[in-house]
């Protein structure tokens, strides 16, 4: 036990430097340098500064010499402004990256070091109190801790090999998420009740059955009341995510070990030679095919979000961030959220789709240690919960899942984070999404056969890798 305690002490205080004199007359130059003012700029999207006020104020209570300038940017301008700022050497010290963007941003990111040199101001002494500056070299989060504390989808998007010496690489942590969002099924309770449907579907088979029962047509066979916003690409919000999830649930291998898209190919070792992605895509586009029994959506409908909030469709696929948007757009809409449909009811076989942002540190910052220290602080359970509560976001930490399951609004999304997956679709995720949307539209319009469309889209995605 004594040997263990000594090891723990050695680990926690690898380096301890005490510099007396701060705040005293004639304080040493070294002491003043140890607690010099540090200014960090932090860029994010969607969440206002009020969601981060407590995290920042709690950190500054420990480190009053650190000032953090939090800036919220519009999503539409974020990437352009970020890249322009870095090109002009005025970029932020800390910034957010969408999980599918990470590999493209790696050259701009400073990975988490093995240790950080952090300075503290402390009052020491018994009879004579004296303010001293203590600089500690503290070990950072290990890969094992990351894997243990965060849900399974996280390491795949934050751990990458980094050069640590000539010809030597080592896996490093390049960022930490504060939240994980998942795709879920929103439904109009009034429309389901009127059709005598007591509960939303749990499987895709049940989903098809309910779509048939809910859809209404006019005298010309056109959709008068849609059951679900699914089938097309361009007027279905996050259609690329929906079809990606269907492919993954069907057994599609989205990429190989090098990150190259392979979804248009039969997975190696598959028990059948049929193409899972083709079956998933046909399933998706059938909902926009007038010759199919499940026909329920066409190009005349507005964006799926607009259609749902206007009561034009019963089902809408969205994320937790849609909750406040729906309430703001249509405060009287009687809706609820259900887990994403699965191929089977076997909970062990569930696959859900993750969408999240990763907080990371710029390679150009002059305050690497302080920036990473703040991010590690912000990601800890006792600190991140205030952000999650204020922003209304589902957790990325395993230790918070049980607590958030009691949250009426977030419970569905939180239940899905443990089975959430995603895939790397190239350095230009926006272009990849557009390619997938066009693929779906072309298939529905009959301009391209499904197998050919999948092959073309796979090539387009790989062009960005």
pLDDT in tens, 229-284: 999 999 999 999 999 999 999 999 999 988 899 999 987 765 566 899 999 999 99
Phi then psi for residue 91, to 5 deg, are -70, 165
CA distance 43 to 157: 19
Q: How far is CA 202 from CA 391, 394, 407, 410, in A?
A: 28, 21, 21, 18
Per the listing, tokens 């069907």 go with 250
pLDDT in tens, 342-356: 999 888 899 999 999
Query: Are the folds of 14-180+357-393 and 181-355+424-462 the same?
Result: yes
| Local structure of 358: helix, strand or coil | strand
Running along the chain, 465 residues long, what does each successive block of 10 average in pLDDT? 38 40 42 78 96 97 96 95 94 96 93 94 72 86 98 97 79 98 99 98 98 96 97 98 98 92 83 84 98 97 98 98 97 98 91 98 96 98 97 97 96 98 89 96 97 96 87
Say how many residues make up the chain: 465
pTM: 0.89
Beta carbons of 393 and 51 less than 8 angstroms apart: no
Q: Which of 3.40.50.300, 3.40.190.10, 3.40.50.720, 3.30.420.300 is the CATH number of 14-180+357-393?
A: 3.40.190.10
CATH superfamily of domain region 181-355+424-462: Periplasmic binding protein-like II (3.40.190.10)
CA torsion sign, 137 to 143 to 149 to 150? Answer: positive
Domain ranges (residues) in the chain = 14-180+357-393, 181-355+424-462
Tokens encoding 19: 């510099």
Q: How far is CA 313 from CA 145, 204, 223, in A?
A: 44, 17, 10
Selection from 374, 375, 401 nearest residue 149 by Cα? 401
CA distance 227 to 211: 5
| Local structure of 246: helix, strand or coil | helix
How many DSSP H helices and E strands does the chain contain? 19, 18
CA torsion sign, 163 to 165 to 171 to 173? Answer: negative
Q: What is the 3-state secondary structure (H, E, C) of 105-120?
A: HHHHECCCCCEEEEEE
């Amino acid at each position: 036990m004594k040997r263990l305690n000594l090891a723990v002490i050695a680990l926690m205080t690898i380096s301890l430097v005490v510099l007396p004199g701060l705040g005293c007359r004639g304080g040493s130059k070294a002491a003043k340098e140890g607690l010099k003012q540090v200014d960090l700029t932090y860029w994010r999207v969607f969440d206002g500064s009020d969601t981060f006020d407590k995290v920042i104020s709690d950190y500054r209570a420990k480190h009053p010499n650190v000032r953090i300038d939090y800036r919220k940017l519009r999503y539409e301008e974020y990437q352009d402004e970020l890249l322009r700022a870095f090109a002009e050497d005025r970029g932020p010290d800390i910034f957010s990256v969408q999980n599918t963007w990470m590999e493209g941003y790696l050259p701009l990111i400073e990975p988490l070091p093995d240790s950080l040199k952090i300075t503290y101001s402390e009052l020491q002494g018994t009879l004579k109190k004296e303010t001293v500056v203590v600089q500690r070299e503290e070990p950072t989060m290990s890969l094992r801790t990351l894997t243990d504390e965060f849900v399974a989808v996280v390491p795949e998007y934050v751990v990458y090999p980094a050069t640590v010496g000539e010809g030597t690489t080592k896996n490093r942590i390049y960022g930490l998420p504060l939240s994980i969002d998942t795709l879920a099924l929103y439904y109009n309770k009034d429309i389901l009740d009127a059709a005598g449907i007591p509960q939303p579907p749990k499987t895709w088979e049940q989903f098809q059955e309910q779509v048939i029962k809910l859809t209404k047509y006019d005298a010309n066979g056109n959709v008068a009341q849609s059951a679900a916003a699914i089938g097309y690409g361009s007027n279905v919000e996050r259609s690329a995510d929906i079809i990606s999830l269907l492919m993954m649930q069907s057994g599609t291998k989205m990429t190989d070990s090098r990150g190259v898209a392979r979804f248009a190919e039969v997975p190696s070792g598959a028990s059948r030679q049929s193409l899972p992605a083709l079956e998933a895509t046909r399933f998706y586009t059938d909902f926009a095919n007038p010759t199919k029994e499940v026909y329920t959506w066409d190009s005349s409908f507005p964006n799926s979000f607009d259609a749902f909030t206007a009561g034009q469709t019963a089902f809408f696929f969205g994320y937790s961030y849609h909750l406040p948007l729906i309430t703001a757009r249509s405060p009287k809409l009687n809706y609820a959220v259900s887990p994403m449909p699965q191929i089977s009811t076997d909970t062990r076989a569930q696959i859900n789709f993750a969408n999240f942002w990763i907080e990371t540190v710029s390679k150009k910052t002059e305050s690497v240690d302080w920036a990473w220290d703040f991010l590690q602080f912000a990601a800890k359970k006792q600190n991140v919960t205030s952000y999650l509560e204020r922003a209304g976001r589902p957790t990325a930490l395993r230790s918070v899942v049980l607590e958030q399951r009691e949250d009426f609004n977030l419970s569905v999304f939180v239940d899905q984070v443990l089975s959430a997956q995603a895939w790397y679709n190239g350095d230009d995720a926006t272009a990849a999404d557009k390619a997938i949307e066009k693929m779906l539209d072309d298939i529905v319009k009959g301009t391209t056969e499904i197998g050919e469309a999948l092959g073309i889209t796979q090539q387009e995605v790989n062009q960005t890798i």
